[in-house]
Structure 1
Amino acid sequence: MSTDFQQAREALGLRLRELRLSAPGGRLTGTQLAQRLGWPHSKIYKLEGGKQTATSEDLRAWAEGVGQPGAFEELEARLKGFESHIRSWRRQLAAGHRPVQDSWNIEVARSTAIYAWEESVIPGMLQTADYARHIFLRYAELQGSVRDTDAAVRARMRRQEWLYEAGRRFHALVWEAALHALICPPSVLSNQLDRLTGVIGMDTVELGIIPLATSLRIPAANGFWVLDDRLVIAEDWHAELWLDDAESVTTYMRVWKTLRQSAVYGTEAHNMINRTRRSIAGPR
């Protein structure tokens, strides 16, 4: 977990403890506050110790429970401050995948140049609707989230209109493993690979494939996207990281450029995709 995120969570916990100890009717013990709120005793100390992330509802209940309802706005502002950078999937997907896609669409629309690295899936900007549908279904199953699959697919497909606007440039790097990953039926993956060969040569798309057998200057890690020089979105199993500080943007761009040195483009990339497609189709 991010050190900055954990520090912010611990700072919020200290503030919660201060409010408990300065309750207008006299300081409350953790047990007393837990009884007031109908919570397990352990939740009080997990929140105060930065071991658990509070929800907005938790903070409102806490402020009211310690007799200081006016403190809620301050507490919520602290929560939103660090959650703007660490966006947990549990919270993001509470209303399904569509809202997440809408947030992405807003940021993509603001961008002129996008640099993407994906090690295990085809980048969303280049996905077919069928491929995207299977991706959303897999993640909905994993996270136990709302299945708004069709709405999420439509939102992702709308984002791809960006590729057909003059002045845009999408620089995509994909590890060869992503071409083979059967996260969907073989027929869907075959059509997806057709889509990839179709974007090679577009003046708004630069697609590089990193062969599995090539020498890597750094390990291939989780996927990430750099939008212009202002924002990095990196994905992990528990959350998305939205990083907008200059140092992080510079670091991720350095990683992207290092990975790029191992990629093949144009005809070589086209041939690699076609070989993979033929292997999926099998002998005729």
Structure 2
Amino acid sequence: MSYQYITTEKKGHILVVTMNRPEVYNAVHVDMHNEMADCWDAFAADQDLWVAVLTGAGDKAFSAGNDLKATAAGGSKATMPASGFAGLSSRFDLEKPIVAAVNGFAMGGGFETALSCDIILASDQAKFALPEVKVGFFAAASGVQRLSRYIGRLAAQEMMFTGRTIMADEAQSIGCVNAVYPADQLMAKAMEKAEELCAVSPSAVKATKRVLNDMYKRDGMQDSIAYSREVIADLSKTEDFKEGVNAFVEKRKPNWVNK
């Protein structure tokens, strides 16, 4: 696998995927979404790969989420993959586990990418937020659905309505991170977890995840994520949406008008 915006490395039965735009804190634009979708397709098809580990390049960020500057600038003729943000948020046919190694801040779509993985391990320097409301968006890439399922609706609503940031220890305590490790141990611990997953039957793990995927379908997550795309399309027509993007790019406080 050879890509421009991500790197991949095979280590036995483990695929290590690194989001590789450290100059913009691994923010994801449409071309990167499509590279990641292709990467997960290839991972799914490779019989010798059983587990993946996903992380971000550099020591500051897992991913800053949506690349708003690229969104504001336009330019790419590519469209978002059907499998969603980072090729994962709307993907319900992948039966192999992914371990997220959150090495720095995971904001917005970056947090949603981690939530779309199966096990989330974090550096003690990691931070998490769904701050989309601060720039006129909302967590439309499955954040609403996944966070409310993981930590409960009441706690999730407070995070999503305020956009506040939580540290790794709070993320673990409320149940959206499996474990927290010192930064210099994170990747080693993620690989240990991946090896642990490789030590059990890959067929049984796939069967388990197949049932989990089906549970998401039965409880309406797919339909709800599709509805999020409809709502974000409506939101994109508002003045506040345009103001949020422009204020972010211009590095100023937004002037909301509630329309």
Q: What TM-score, normalized by structure 1, do the two folds share?
A: 0.28
Structure (1/2) with the larger helix percentage: 1
Q: What TM-score, normalized by structure 2, do the two folds share?
A: 0.30
* Structure with bigger gyration radius: 1
